[in-house]
């Protein structure tokens, strides 16, 4: 039996191509309408009026609408509480079913439960699909059925299950898309002639935001995502050698924001990674598996959203100061590799993975600040912010997470800087005040041994003196975690 009319509710899957819910809706219905709701409960929490994530979503939505218009349809865009808006549109269109893709964040799951019960109460069927990950929660688990807590056995099991599995692109049937005329006709039968049946596309200003032009890593929208993936195919083969060096162009894919908002599907990425096997593609696939792993962890252990995966670490008495947290957030710690990373984040909304690790480790284990403060700071600024990956990354660095590094393993920021930005090209890009110094002098600044002869440069005047001593802080960090001395690994 086919539904007469179904709605596909887009959320973090902002594309028509290879979209599980849309694909299934087309198969299961005579007619399909597509909607998106700007969730005011999320928008009102954002601090910046020019939050680039809102611009990213907005531009992607406009592009989606244009794409649908080419098929004679259009995107139904509402603004408000989805618990109200989705059932309202379903009622107006007299839809029989609402299709959407699963979201594993605790707040999204709570929202979806409410939407589902409202729809079911109104006699509208609710159908949910896996789309955001390759394998969801219970698909990859230990032989006894419990979830994995360690990445490597999870990855092995994931790869085994992937086997030779082929992911055919899930193409939507454009002839099933409801024409805009039909949408308007259906709605006009249910409303008075004066009421606007389907609200027009809001402007960014209507939503209370301004345009952000801050897209350094990638542009919004499906077209940009596809282009990005195509370009990445040319660099993928050397990923294992380039991925750790922030100054290398195309050293990583830059696809995280597209994966976050679903302008690209995870299946498209896995297809690319498995098409032409190479060392680079294997290592890249492992990163995509980390993404699935952290989604599974958040889904199965939702307490991580508020506290440590290993609950004993919730007892830590953090010794760090608010003043040092502020200096860290502003990129003024006197540790060039840390400051360069933070300035990249503040100015572009993106940070290279190596630097996410270095800056996070520095905040927690050198400045002794609670990882949750850093996690929140990243969540407010990262264009690719994703609760599961961000939380997983922070807990890994803070040693509080599942399969995280041991707490006595403390990154040495000087060695990290020497190893991953040997010529200080990245540092000099983000810290112009250091351009007159040699790479060697820059690396050693945190040890306060720059040559006094450098023309016009004085530590403390041109660039901050280091706010802490790494060798002292790492001892304190270990004490803070448990008080016992350990061997230090850099």
Ligand X SMILES: Cc1cc2nc3c(=O)[nH]c(=O)nc-3n(C[C@H](O)[C@H](O)[C@H](O)COP(=O)(O)OP(=O)(O)OC[C@H]3O[C@@H](n4cnc5c(N)ncnc54)[C@H](O)[C@@H]3O)c2cc1C
d(CA 23, CA 100): 11
Note whether 252 binds ligand X by CB under 6 A: yes
Minimum CB separation of residue 259 from ligand X in Å reads 4
Residues 225-244 touching ligand X, rule: CB under 6 A, are 243
| Shorter beta-carbon distance to ligand X: residue 24 or 243 | 243
Q: Between the CA of residue 62 and those of 7, 46, 120, 212, 227, what are the distances in Å?
A: 18, 21, 30, 15, 18
Quick check: 133 and 291 in contact, CB under 8 A?
yes
Paired tokens of 430: 């983000």
Minimum CB separation of residue 377 from ligand X in Å reads 10
> Which residue out of 174, 210, 247, 318 is catalytically annotated?
318
Note whether 397 binds ligand X by CB under 6 A: yes
Minimum CB separation of residue 335 from ligand X in Å reads 16
Beta bridge partners of 99: 8, 127
The single residue among 98, 126, 259, 467 that binds ligand X, judged by CB under 6 A, is 259
d(CA 165, CA 456): 62
Q: Is 284 a catalytic residue?
A: no
Quick check: 41 and 81 in contact, CB under 8 A?
yes
Q: Is 205 a catalytic residue?
A: no
Note whether 254 binds ligand X by CB under 6 A: yes
The single residue among 51, 112, 339, 384 that binds ligand X, judged by CB under 6 A, is 384
Q: Between the CA of residue 77 and those of 18, 62, 179, 180, what are the distances in Å?
A: 21, 10, 15, 13
> Which residue out of 9, 158, 180, 394 is catalytically annotated?
394
Select from 312-320, 339-347, 386-394, 423-431 the region that touches ligand X (CB under 6 A): 386-394
> Which residue out of 247, 290, 433, 441 is catalytically annotated?
290
The single residue among 37, 212, 308, 390 that binds ligand X, judged by CB under 6 A, is 390
Q: What's 362's DSSP letter?
A: I
> Which residue out of 158, 180, 284, 371 is catalytically annotated?
371
Q: Is 101 a catalytic residue?
A: no
Note whether 291 binds ligand X by CB under 6 A: yes
- First-residue to last-residue Cα distance in the chain: 62
What φ, ψ does residue 76 adopt, rounded to 5°? Answer: -85, 115
Note whether 382 binds ligand X by CB under 6 A: yes
Minimum CB separation of residue 229 from ligand X in Å reads 11
Q: Is 232 a catalytic residue?
A: no
Note the residue count of the chain.
Answer: 490
d(CA 350, CA 341): 9
For residue 168, count CB atoms less than 10 angstroms from its CB and return exposed for 0-12, middle for 13-18, buried for 19 or more. Answer: exposed
- Sign of the Cα pseudo-torsion (420, 426, 432, 436, in order): positive
> Which residue out of 247, 353, 433, 441 is catalytically annotated?
353
Q: How far is CA 318 from the centre of its chain?
A: 27
Q: Is 328 a catalytic residue?
A: no
Paired tokens of 146: 């419990």
Note whether 37 binds ligand X by CB under 6 A: no
Note whether 356 binds ligand X by CB under 6 A: yes
Note whether 357 binds ligand X by CB under 6 A: yes
Select from 70-78, 85-93, 289-297, 481-489 the region that touches ligand X (CB under 6 A): 289-297
d(CA 79, CA 85): 8
Residue 234: count of CB within 10 angstroms of its CB: 9
Note whether 389 binds ligand X by CB under 6 A: yes
| Shorter beta-carbon distance to ligand X: residue 197 or 280 | 280
Select from 161-169, 253-261, 328-336, 428-436 the region that touches ligand X (CB under 6 A): 253-261
Select from 301-309, 328-336, 382-390, 410-418 the region that touches ligand X (CB under 6 A): 382-390
Q: Is 263 left (phi over 0), alpha (psi -120 to 50) or beta?
A: alpha
Note whether 353 binds ligand X by CB under 6 A: yes
Note whether 403 binds ligand X by CB under 6 A: no
Strand order in the sheet with 29-39: 75-80, 29-39, 3-10, 97-101, 125-129
Interacting residue ranges for ligand X, rule: CB under 6 A: 243, 252-256, 259-260, 287-288, 290-291, 294, 353, 356-357, 360, 378, 382, 384-386, 389-390, 392-394, 397
Residues annotated catalytic, as ranges: 287, 290, 318, 353, 371, 394
């Amino acid at each position: 039996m086919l539904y007469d009319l179904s709605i596909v509710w887009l959320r973090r899957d902002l594309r028509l191509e290879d979209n599980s819910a849309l694909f299934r809706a087309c198969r299961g219905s005579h007619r399909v309408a597509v909607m998106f709701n700007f969730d005011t409960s999320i928008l009102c929490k954002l601090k910046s009026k020019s939050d680039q994530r809102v611009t990213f979503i907005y531009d992607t939505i406009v592009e989606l609408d244009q794409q649908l218009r080419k098929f004679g349809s259009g995107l139904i865009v509402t603004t408000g509480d989805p618990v109200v808006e989705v059932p309202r549109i379903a009622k107006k269109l007299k839809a029989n079913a609402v299709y959407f893709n699963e979201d594993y964040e605790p707040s999204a799951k709570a929202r979806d439960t409410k939407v589902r019960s409202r729809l079911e109460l109104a006699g509208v069927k609710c159908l949910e699909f896996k789309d955001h990950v390759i394998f969801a929660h219970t698909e990859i688990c230990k032989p006894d059925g419990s979830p994995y807590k360690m990445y490597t056995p999870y990855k092995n099991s994931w790869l085994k299950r992937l086997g030779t599995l082929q992911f055919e692109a899930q193409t939507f049937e454009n002839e099933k898309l409801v024409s805009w005329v039909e949408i308007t006709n259906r709605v006009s039968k249910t409303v008075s002639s004066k009421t606007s049946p389907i609200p027009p596309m809001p402007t960014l200003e209507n939503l209370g935001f301004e345009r952000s032009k801050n897209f350094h890593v990638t542009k919004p929208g499906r077209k940009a995502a596809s282009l990005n993936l195509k370009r990445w195919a040319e660099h993928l083969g050397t990923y294992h050698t380039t991925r750790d060096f922030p100054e290398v162009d195309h050293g990583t894919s830059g696809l995280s924001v597209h994966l976050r908002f679903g302008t690209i599907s995870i299946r498209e990425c896995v297809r690319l990674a498995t098409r032409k096997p190479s060392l680079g593609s294997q290592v890249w696939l492992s990163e995509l598996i980390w993404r699935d792993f952290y989604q599974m962890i958040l889904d199965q252990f939702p307490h991580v959203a508020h506290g440590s995966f290993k609950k004993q670490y919730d007892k830590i008495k953090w010794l760090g100061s608010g003043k040092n947290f502020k200096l860290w957030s502003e990129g003024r710690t006197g540790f060039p590799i840390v400051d360069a990373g933070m300035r990249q984040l503040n100015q572009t909304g993106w940070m290279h993975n190596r630097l996410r690790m270095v800056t996070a480790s520095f905040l927690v284990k050198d400045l002794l600040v609670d990882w949750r403060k850093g996690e929140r700071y990243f969540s407010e600024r990262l264009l690719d912010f994703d609760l599961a990956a961000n939380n997983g990354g922070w807990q890994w660095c803070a040693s509080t997470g599942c399969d995280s590094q041991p707490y006595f393993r403390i990154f040495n920021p000087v060695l990290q800087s020497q190893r991953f930005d040997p010529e200080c090209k990245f540092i000099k890009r983000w810290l112009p005040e250091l351009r007159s110094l040699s790479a060697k002098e820059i690396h050693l600044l945190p040890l306060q041994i720059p040559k006094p002869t450098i023309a016009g440069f004085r530590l403390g005047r041109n660039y901050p003196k280091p706010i802490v001593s790494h060798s002292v802080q790492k001892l304190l960090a270990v004490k803070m975690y448990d008080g016992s001395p350990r061997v230090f690994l850099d």
